[in-house]
Structure formats: C-alpha cells, structure tokens
Amino acid sequence: MKILREVFLFGVSGVLGFLVDTAALYALQIYFGPFVARGFSFFLAVLTTWMFNREITFWNRRSGQKKQTEFFSYFVLMLGGGAVNYAVYVWLVLNYQVVAENLVIGVAVGSLAGMCINFATSRLMLFRHRA
C-alpha cells in the first residue's frame, strides 16, 4: 500500500533528521548549552526532512505552494511535533542523569514522540494534493 511506503520513507527521513539534529546539537551545545543548541539543531533537522520528504516520501503529492512558502509551512507544521519532541527532551535531560550525560537519548525519545504528529500534518495538511 502507498501509505505504508510513505510511513516507511517518513521514518527514513526521520532517521536522517535525527542524525543531523544530534550532530548539530553536539557541535553547538558547547557554545549555547543543551537547550538553546537544540533549537538550532531542530531547525537544521526540519530543513533536512523537508527536502527528503518533498522529493522522496511525498514525491507524488504536492502542496501547491512555492518552495520557500512550502518550507515555511512545513516548518510551522513541524512545530507541533517539535514542541512534543522538545518537551520530552527537556523533561528527560532534567530528570535523568544518564540522559543529561548522553543527550542523544533525549533526542531519540523526543523524536519518536513527535514523529506521529509530524507525519499526520505533513501528509494531511501540506502534501495533500496528488501530483
């Protein structure tokens, strides 16, 4: 089924976003701390997943928007899942020493928490038109 393909590819996109998010977080947290750095790393992850989802996951669906507008719309939609993602991350970092020492755990759990929301908003609200 097409929906299963989209869910799988959205998961692949999420893994790529997770790798970008984690790499940027570790690079930036030295300068900005683990909370502010996560905002920057989240933005880079959203940019990565938008490019992948636009061209691969939802290749046969379109938003009907110009690329710049589409990215802005995608970013705004990802804030819903991102808010859940970040809340879980912060809660884990503040409450579990092992997570504070290994931020990747918080990123992973937060990413999984936000993924369902992000898939639904991407498919049902943004990439809703057949190409």
- pLDDT tens by residue, 5-50: 999 999 999 999 989 999 999 999 999 999 999 999 999 999 999 9
Average pLDDT over residues 106-112: 90
Q: What is the mean pLDDT of the chain?
A: 94
Q: State whether residue 129 is helix, strand or coil.
A: strand
Instruction: Show the domain range for 17.
Output: 2-130
Quote the DSSP letter at residue 61.
Answer: E
Q: What letter represents residue 60's amino acid?
A: N
- What's the number of domains the chain is made of? 1
The first and second tokens of residue 34, run together, are 């683990």
| Averaged pLDDT for residues 108-116 | 89
Neighbours of 33 (CB within 10 A): 10
